[in-house]
Amino acid sequence: MQYKVPVMSDMVAEGKIPDVIFWVGCAGSFDQRAQRVTIAFTKILNQLNINFAVLGTEEACTGDPARRAGNEFIFQMLAQQNIATLNNYGIKKIVTTCPHCFNTIKNEYPELGGKYEVLHHSQYLQELINEGKLKVEGGPFKGKRITYHDSCYLGRANGIYEAPRTIIEALDADLIEINKCKTNGLCCGAGGAQMFKEDEPGNKRINTERTGQLIEVYPDVIAVACPFCNTMITDGVKSENKQDDIKVVDLAELVAQANNY
């Protein structure tokens, strides 16, 4: 299959309207590891013939790290710019592979005039599975031990715990829950703009602590749903020298690989 990425401005020029905007996010656009997740999710959208578009160069950072670091000016500038773009196109529905983008657009844009139906890709994929549109083959993950690392901005911040698990269960895999999961999940260490700076002085890195908890259950795969968690846990697995035995894989990649997309 020849995969396509329709860009919003082109679609409008052709007089077409997408059903949903795929919000790629900065990590999804620029970070090499996250780009692979973006590609996997794009393949799923293509395979299911979903009428989607990306904003392309018109997309800007949602402002999440600036607001959380305490710089409201930068947040407002980016947020208002994005809202102007989205409203200008009359966007109704957005799906994103980043829980930080998801949280900001869903919870913080409405007060600034940006009201959309916003879904995280785990919810979107769950919907597609439930509607019978997306069939997931067990494929390479059948019977594999998969544990899931809850992203704070999906879990505690927005109460989304089941959607990611539905996807893993659809793979016919063995979902192993660690002790500290769901509401008790430990942060990967990247939230609140920590992704962009060194840890403060302490006796351990947060991602090392979290990875330790995850590898305790001897998983074959650590499933993640956030590009920052992905980076942090991947680094953690590497520093434990376990990268050959344990793969850190995003939910979209799990589905794409299982279905051989």
Interaction with another protein in 222-261: which residues (CB under 8 A)? none
Binding flag, residue 203, another protein (CB under 8 A):
yes
Binding flag, residue 9, another protein (CB under 8 A):
no
Interaction with another protein in 116-175: which residues (CB under 8 A)? 152-153, 156-159
Count the alpha carbons within 13 Å of 203 in the hemisphere toward its beta carbon.
Answer: 0
139-159 b/e with 16+ CB inside 10 Å = b? bebeebbbbbbbbbbbbbbbe
Whether the CB-CB separation of 75 and 66 falls below 8 Å is answered with: yes
Amino acid, single-letter form, for residue 74: I
Interaction with another protein in 12-71: which residues (CB under 8 A)? 24, 26, 28-31, 35, 38-39, 42-43, 54, 56-57, 59-61, 63, 65-71
Work out which of 187, 221, 225, 258 binds another protein, going by CB under 8 A: 187
Would you say the C-alpha torsion 88, 40, 171, 233 has a positive or negative sign? negative
CB under 8 Å to 8, separation ≥6 — which residues?
A: 18, 21, 53, 54, 55, 56, 58, 89
Stretch that binds another protein, among 88-96, 129-137, 178-186, 245-253 (CB under 8 A): 178-186
Stretch that binds another protein, among 1-9, 167-175, 239-247, 252-260 (CB under 8 A): 1-9
Work out which of 9, 12, 74, 172 binds another protein, going by CB under 8 A: 74
Least Cβ distance, residue 257 to another protein (angstroms): 15
